[in-house]
């Protein structure tokens, strides 16, 4: 490293040490987080994790002192496809929604505010939840630019909840909320070395969340520990009359923090999805260490030979494209006032008219495909088949046939180099999250270590509505884990 760069690196390290890089601490305040955002996110390494800061956050923090409860005063960031009342727009990362100030809280945000949670700001994301182009770069949006991974600044933070993952990892908030359609909470959690939980679809409301697919979308908590993720989920979960999928949520939700401190793996049968660990020897070796820790904690491991059905991905894509056109139009037409953009076709036209802002790095081939995906009969057939393959003949059958409580695999491979020209390059073949995403079942990613300094998560997947037990298994694994979890370096990989 040249002398000047070495000096700058030392200066940055000293600055970071002063403000305390890394996981948030109990005494951290809005002022502390804002200073970290200024020092780490807006300057220095410039993570581009935070799109906008709530100017009323300090006032909300003061007001939270009058509220009693475990969430009172907790400071969080919110992915910018979730509406938050106040002056901040909800953009989904696109200039098309740059002025989308709705003046309303999504029901999940209203629940959190009632519990005393402080909304610090909105996080960057893969634009339109990474469903605009097949050659996109995870973590890039027209409004926010490219989010960087705090563990390796030239590596992908994964997406689409990239800003939420990077922000939590860099200590820019106590926790954050992401959303997942397929991997958008769990992959950023894995790549950034934090905990991410995709709950059972229907546990958390999607009302006033910019949609991709009502068939698979769900918000989820992202934090530095399973206990913190469970605590945040407590405030998020519940029925919403405007979201039919949540009809049973009030009846089935529980205190998700209960039993975490004493949860045990003793006698728990866990299915090992070996093929979903990919072929990279270092990833497999790290997975083997996680399995050894699970076994040392008392778990009984059952090797499962499973191969993804060839038509699962095909049918999932059909569902997502059809839902995108339908659900996006419904959302746009339901915005307050008289929104100028009222359909997916309007968004496509906007992007073409503002190509300098939106289409510089990659196009909108998925948007255009979605606009042409109009065959409802084909859609319904694809949805039924994908649900069958992922649910009844997927997770349900794997759990029942092998008499196991959970399935485990690495969440993703190591973060790949950011490439704005040709897009993402995750060819690792790692992960089983698509099963949980399509079926709508709970999926937890917990850090299990790193490969060459790049974090890797352990996925724990369970049955529908078995969220509490999945979280308990994750907490038990955290205590059993013997491998060190990496701390963000805020440097380029290899420096």
Q: What is the pLDDT of residues 330-383, one digit of tens each?
A: 999 999 998 999 999 999 999 999 999 999 999 999 999 999 999 999 999 999
DSSP secondary structure string, 359-410?
SSS---HHHHHHHH---HHHHHHHHHHHHIIIIIIIIHHHHHHTT-SEEEEE
What does the pLDDT read at residue 381? Answer: 98
User: With pLDDT > 70 as the criterion, what percentage of the chain qualifies?
Assistant: 95
What does the pLDDT read at residue 495? Answer: 86
Q: E strands along 134-225, which residues? A: 140-141, 145-146, 175-180, 195-198, 218-223
> Confidence band (pLDDT; 50, 70, 90) for 10?
very low
Residues annotated as catalytic (active site), given as ranges: 79, 160, 184
User: With pLDDT > 90 as the criterion, what percentage of the chain qualifies?
Assistant: 93
What does the pLDDT read at residue 17? Answer: 38
What span, in angstroms and rounded, lies between the C-alpha atoms of 148 and 155? 7
What average pLDDT does the structure give for the chain? 94
> Confidence band (pLDDT; 50, 70, 90) for 13?
very low
Q: Is the pLDDT of residue 3 over 60?
A: no
Q: Which two tokens stand for residue 393?
A: 């003949």
User: Of 393, 391, 428, 386, nearest to 411 (Cα)?
Assistant: 428
User: Of 222, 61, 51, nearest to 127 (Cα)?
Assistant: 51
Q: Is the pLDDT of residue 418 over 80?
A: yes
> Confidence band (pLDDT; 50, 70, 90) for 16?
very low
Residues 6+ apart with CB under 8 A from 383: 215, 315, 319
DSSP code, position 225: S
Class for the domain spanning 3-480: alpha beta
The average pLDDT across 115-126 equals 98
Instruction: Classify the C-alpha dihedral 432-433-434-440 as positive or negative.
Output: positive
The average pLDDT across 395-408 equals 98
The average pLDDT across 101-126 equals 98
Ordered by start, the domain boundaries in the chain are 3-480
What are 264-302's pLDDT values in tens digits? 999 999 999 999 999 999 999 999 999 999 999 999 999
The average pLDDT across 122-147 equals 98
Among 9-23, 82-96, 264-278, which stretch is predicted with the lowest mean pLDDT?
9-23
> Confidence band (pLDDT; 50, 70, 90) for 460?
very high
What does the pLDDT read at residue 27? Answer: 72
Q: Among the residues of 432-466, which ranges form H helices? A: 433-439
Count Cα atoms within 13 angstroms, Cβ side, for 314.
6
What span, in angstroms and rounded, lies between the C-alpha atoms of 324 and 68? 40
CA 412 to chain CA centroid, nearest Å:
13
Instruction: Classify the C-alpha dihedral 436-225-154-411 as positive or negative.
Output: negative
DSSP secondary structure string, 241-310?
TTBGGGTTHHHH---TTTTTTT---TT-EEEEEGGGG-S-HHHHHHHHHHHHHHHHTTPEEEEE-----H
């Amino acid at each position: 490293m040249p002398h000047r760069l070495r000096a700058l690196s030392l200066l940055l390290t000293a600055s970071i040490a002063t403000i305390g890089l890394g996981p948030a601490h109990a005494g951290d305040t809005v002022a502390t987080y804002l200073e970290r955002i200024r020092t780490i996110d807006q300057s220095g390494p410039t993570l581009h994790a935070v799109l906008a800061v709530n100017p009323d956050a300090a006032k909300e923090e003061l007001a939270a002192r009058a509220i009693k409860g475990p969430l009172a005063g907790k400071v969080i960031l919110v992915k910018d496809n979730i509406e938050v009342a106040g002056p901040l727009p909800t953009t989904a990362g696109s200039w098309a929604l740059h002025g989308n100030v709705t003046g309303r809280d999504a029901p999940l945000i209203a629940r959190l505010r009632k519990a005393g949670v402080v909304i610090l700001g909105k996080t960057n994301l893969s634009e339109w939840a990474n469903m605009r182009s097949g050659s996109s770069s995870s973590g890039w949006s027209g409004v926010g630019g490219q989010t960087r991974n705090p563990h390796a600044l030239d590596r992908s933070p994964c997406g689409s909840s990239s800003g939420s993952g990077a922000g939590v990892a860099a200590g820019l908030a106590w926790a954050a909320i992401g959303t997942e359609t397929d991997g958008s909470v769990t992959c950023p959690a894995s790549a950034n070395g934090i905990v991410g939980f995709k709950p059972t679809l229907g546990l958390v409301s999607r009302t006033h969340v910019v949609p991709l697919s009502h068939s698979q979308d769900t918000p989820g908590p992202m934090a530095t520990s399973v206990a913190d993720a469970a605590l945040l989920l407590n405030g998020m979960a519940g029925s919403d009359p405007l979201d039919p999928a949540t009809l049973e949520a009030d009846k089935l939700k529980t205190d998700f923090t209960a039993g975490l401190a004493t949860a045990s793996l003793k006698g728990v049968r866990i299915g090992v999805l070996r093929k979903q660990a990919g072929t990279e020897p270092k990833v497999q070796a790290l997975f083997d260490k996680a399995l050894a820790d699970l076994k040392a904690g008392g778990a009984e491991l059952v090797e499962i030979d499973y191969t993804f059905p060839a038509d699962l991905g095909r049918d999932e894509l059909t569902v997502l494209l059809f839902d995108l056109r339908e659900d996006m139009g419904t959302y746009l037409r339901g915005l307050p006032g008289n929104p100028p953009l009222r359909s997916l076709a309007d968004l496509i036209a906007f992007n073409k008219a503002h190509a300098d802002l939106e289409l510089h790095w990659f196009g909108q081939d998925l948007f255009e495909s979605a606009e042409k995906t109009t065959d409802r009969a084909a859609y319904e057939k694809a949805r039924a088949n994908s649900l069958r393959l992922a649910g009844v003949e997927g997770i349900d059958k794997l759990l029942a046939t092998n008499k196991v409580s959970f399935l485990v695999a690495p969440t993703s491979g190591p973060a790949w180099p950011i490439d704005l020209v040709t897009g993402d390059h995750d060819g690792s073949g790692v992960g089983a999250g698509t099963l949980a995403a399509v079926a709508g079942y709970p999926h937890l990613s917990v850090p299990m270590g790193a490969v060459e300094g790049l974090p890797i998560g352990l996925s724990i997947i369970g049955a529908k509505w078995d969220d509490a037990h999945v979280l308990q298994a994750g907490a038990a694994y955290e205590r059993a884990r013997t491998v060190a979890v990496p701390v963000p370096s805020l440097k380029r990989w290899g420096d």
